[in-house]
Chains A and B, each alone.
Chain A
Amino acid sequence: MKYKCKVCEYIYDPAVGDSTQGINPGTDFEALPDDWLCPECGAPKEEFELIN
C-alpha cells in the first residue's frame, strides 16, 4: 500500500523502496524503521497517510 507525505506529497511506494536510505524494493511502509524520514522533505513517518 502506498503512503503520501502530508508535508510535500512525496509518495512512498513499497514496490520501489527508498534507495537513499537503504530501503529495498518490496518493503512495506509499516516495516520502515522509526527513524526513516521522507526523502524529499525530511518529515517523519507520522506525517504520512495511506492513499486509497
Chain B
Amino acid sequence: MKIAKNIYSVGVVDWNLTDFHGYHTSGGTTYNAYLLIDNKITLVDTVKNSCTFVSRMINNLSSIIPVEKIDYVVSNHAEKDHSGAIINIMEKAPNAVLLCSPHGKENLEKYGILPAKYRVVGNTEELSTGTKTLKFFHTPLVHWPDSMVTYLKEENILFSNDGFGQHYGKSCMFADEAGIDIVLKEAAKYYANILTPYGTSIIKALDALKGLDIKMIAPAHGMIWRRKQDIELIISDYTKWAKHTPGDKALIVYDTMWGSTEILADTCYQQLSGSGIKTELFNVSKRDISDIPTEILDAKFIVFASPILHNQILPTMGKVLVYLSGLKFSNRKAWCTGSYGWAKNAFEKLEGFVQNASFDLIAPGFYVKFKPTDKEIEELKNKLTEEIIPRIKE
C-alpha cells in the first residue's frame, strides 16, 4: 500500500496476537516494513518469521517490484518481529546488502541471521539511493542496544522502528484513519510496557532528531503518524513520558483473599476521592496487568494493597511488583496497606518490593489483622487525611 510517492508499506497485520512477550495486546498488532523505490531499491525492516507473514510480505513486495531487485535491506532493530524475514528476503535478492548498527550486527549474528552481505552504518551516516538520501541515527535502548532509526531526507519521513509504535492491528495505515484517540491510547500502552525503563536514552534520541523537519513518522508497529498536529502530540507525549513526568491521579492497585484488603483499598479510594484527588481502583486479579503501567503513566501516587499468604505477599501482587521493578517508573509516590492473618513480616517485603520498583514510599504502611474493625477503618481514614493526602497534594 502506497504511503507516499514511491514509498510503500509492505508489512503485515497480526490480527490474532494477544500476548507480545507478556504484554497483552487489545487489538492485535502489525509488523510494518517499508519499500522505497529509487535508483537503488531499499526495504526498511521486515516481519515476524511465520510462513504466512513472510508469504504475505513477499506478495506485497512482488506486486510492486521483482524482489530480486532489492539493493538494500535496512535492519533498524534485530528483535525477531522485525528481523524475522531478513533471511527470506536475502535469499530472493542475491545482490542486496543488509545495513545495520554495530550492535545490530552483533545481535543478528547471535540470532544466526546475519547475511553474508552486510554493512554496519555509523551514527548520522548518509546513504544515497540515487535521487534520495537515507540518514541513519543510532538510538540505543529505544528499544534495544541495537536500535536505530532511518530518515528519508527528501520526503521528511522518519522510519522510527519501535519508537512511536503501537500494538494495534487495523487494515488502515494512518493514525488519523484509525482514530487518533485510540491510537494515542495504544501508543501510551506501548510506551508504558516497552519503553518506560529507557527514558534517558529516549530524551537523547529526541534531542538528536530535533533538527529534522519530520512530516511523517512510520513506525514498525501500528499506525503511521502523518498529520502535523498528531506528530507534535506524540513527540510531546514521548518527551513527557521519557522525563518521567508524573500525572495528576492516584491509583489503588490491590488484590484480596477474603475481602479484607478490598475494604482497606476501598477506604483509601473513598477517602482520596473525597479529598478531591482523582482516584482509580485496580484489582490485579480482575484486570489486565499490561494496563497497570499505562495507568501509572498518568498517576502521581499509587497505593499497593496486598493480603498475606504463607508469609508472603499474594503472588498476584508479587507478579505486578516484579513487572514494575523492571519498568522503573520515577517521580511517583507510593504507600502500602493490607490485611494479614497471624504473621505480618511479609509487609516488610511488600514495602521493599515497592521501593525496589523505584517508587518513593512516603510513610510506613497500615496493616490490620484479618478484617478491619470499625475503629481500624477510622484510624486508616485519619492517617490518610492527616499524613498521606497532604503528601499527595504537595
Interface set of A (CB-CB < 8 Å, partner B):
7, 37, 40-44, 46-47
Contact = CB atoms under 8 A, between A and B. Distances in A.
Given A40-B145, A41-B145, 4 more contacts: A42-B141, A43-B141, A43-B200, A43-B201
Kindly list the 4 A-B residue pairs having the minimum CB-CB distance in the complex, ordered from nearest.
Answer: A42-B140, A42-B145, A41-B145, A46-B200
A33 to B, nearest CB: 13
A44 B145 contact: no
B218 to A, nearest CB: 23
A7 B103 contact: no
Interface of B: 103, 138, 140-141, 145, 197-198, 200-201, 204
11 contacts: A7-B198, A37-B140, A41-B140, A41-B141, A42-B140, A42-B201, A43-B200, A44-B200, A44-B201, A44-B204, A47-B200
Contacts of A41: 140-141, 145
Contacts of B204: 44
Nearest to A34: B204
The dominant DSSP class at the B interface is: helix
Nearest to B142: A42
Contacts of B201: 42-44, 47
Contacts of B200: 43-44, 46-47
Contacts of A7: 141, 197-198
Nearest to A40: B145
B324 to A, nearest CB: 16
Nearest to B140: A42
Contacts of A47: 200-201
Contacts of A43: 140-141, 200-201
B197 to A, nearest CB: 7
B243 to A, nearest CB: 12
B230 to A, nearest CB: 28
B197 A42 contact: no
Contacts of B197: 7
Contacts of A40: 145
Contacts of B145: 40-42
Nearest to B147: A42
A10 to B, nearest CB: 11
Contacts of B141: 7, 41-43
Interface hub of A42, A44, A46 (most chain B Cβ within 10 A):
A42
Contacts of A42: 103, 138, 140-141, 145, 201
Nearest to B123: A35
Nearest to B101: A42
A16 B382 CA distance: 57
B189 to A, nearest CB: 22
A34 to B, nearest CB: 10
A37 B138 CA distance: 11
A8 to B, nearest CB: 8
A46 B141 CA distance: 13
B124 to A, nearest CB: 11
B383 to A, nearest CB: 34
A37 B205 CA distance: 13
Contacts of B140: 37, 41-43
A7 B204 CA distance: 15
A37 B201 CA distance: 10
Contacts of A46: 200
A37 to B, nearest CB: 6
A51 B145 CA distance: 23
A2 B198 CA distance: 22
A41 B147 CA distance: 10
A41 B140 CA distance: 7
Contacts of A37: 140
A28 to B, nearest CB: 21
B162 to A, nearest CB: 14
